[in-house]
Chain A
Amino acid sequence: MEKKLSEMKYGAQGIVKSIKGDLRNKVAGMGIRVNKRIRMATKQPIKGPVVVTVDESNISLGLGIAENIIVEVEK
């Protein structure tokens, strides 16, 4: 099922399907890219940022940024 990264539950995993526009360049250097496995490591409360894991690297993204990344979530 495809979901926005921002809507992924804590602990969920999936494969990145698409990244909107300019953001693709911005997160590329940190290893976040299409077809990559991504795991939701933590979500901060009250619309706080998420922390995702890609290739054993942890990256924190603001929720507004995470909305622009679409993930095929595994059941």
Chain B
Amino acid sequence: MRILLMGHPNVGKSVVFNRITGANVTESNYPGTTVDYEKGYVRIGHEEMEVIDVPGTFSLEPKDKAEEVAVKMLERNKDSVVVCIIDSTKIERGLYLALEIIERGSRVVVALNMWDIAEDKNINIDVEKLRQILGVPVVPTIAVSGEGIKELVSRISGATSVKIESVMKNVGGS
């Protein structure tokens, strides 16, 4: 089984990748130098899983070639688990990408990264409630220090795909 790490550029995606795989991969915090993808492996239970660090993208409507690469990778790996990494301080636009991925029917785990910075900025996120609404695992993480990574990995094998309609229902809309 494959795991795709997706998220905006500059959300610490590559740091999460390094934490999960233990690989010695350079972390490009900012868009520009990493436009190719990195591959690594993680053992979960008895299964060796391939982890792909997908180039950062803001949405699944690609506006340049680097984002196109990201979207193609998602399309080619429909049965993989997507770990969607969100900058907790910019949760709304992060959720936009997460919803797009959920709509496409992929199994998703959401990582709320940079949790510490969000706390510093007085942004308070009710993780349990978010989990209920989205219907997918949501894990706060601080990739630079490694906090939450273990839990994130433990949630991967249990990830299921959800219907966007159920998200709409959970949030109380029509």
Contacts and interface: CB of A to CB of B under 8 A. Distances in A.
A56 B59 CA distance: 19
Nearest to B100: A29
Interface string B128-145: 000000000000000000
A64 B144 CA distance: 38
A18 to B, nearest CB: 18
Interface string B67-101: 00000000000000000000001101100110000
Given A29-B96, A29-B97, A31-B96, A57 B61 contact: no
A49 B56 CA distance: 23
A28 B59 contact: yes
B41 interface: no
Interface in A21-75: 25-26, 28-31, 55-57
B90 A29 contact: no
Contacts of A57: 90, 93
29 contacts: A25-B59, A25-B61, A26-B61, A26-B63, A28-B59, A28-B61, A28-B96, A29-B8, A29-B57, A29-B58, A29-B59, A29-B61, A29-B93, A29-B96, A29-B97, A30-B58, A30-B93, A31-B90, A31-B92, A31-B93, A31-B96, A55-B90, A55-B92, A55-B93, A56-B89, A56-B90, A56-B121, A57-B90, A57-B93
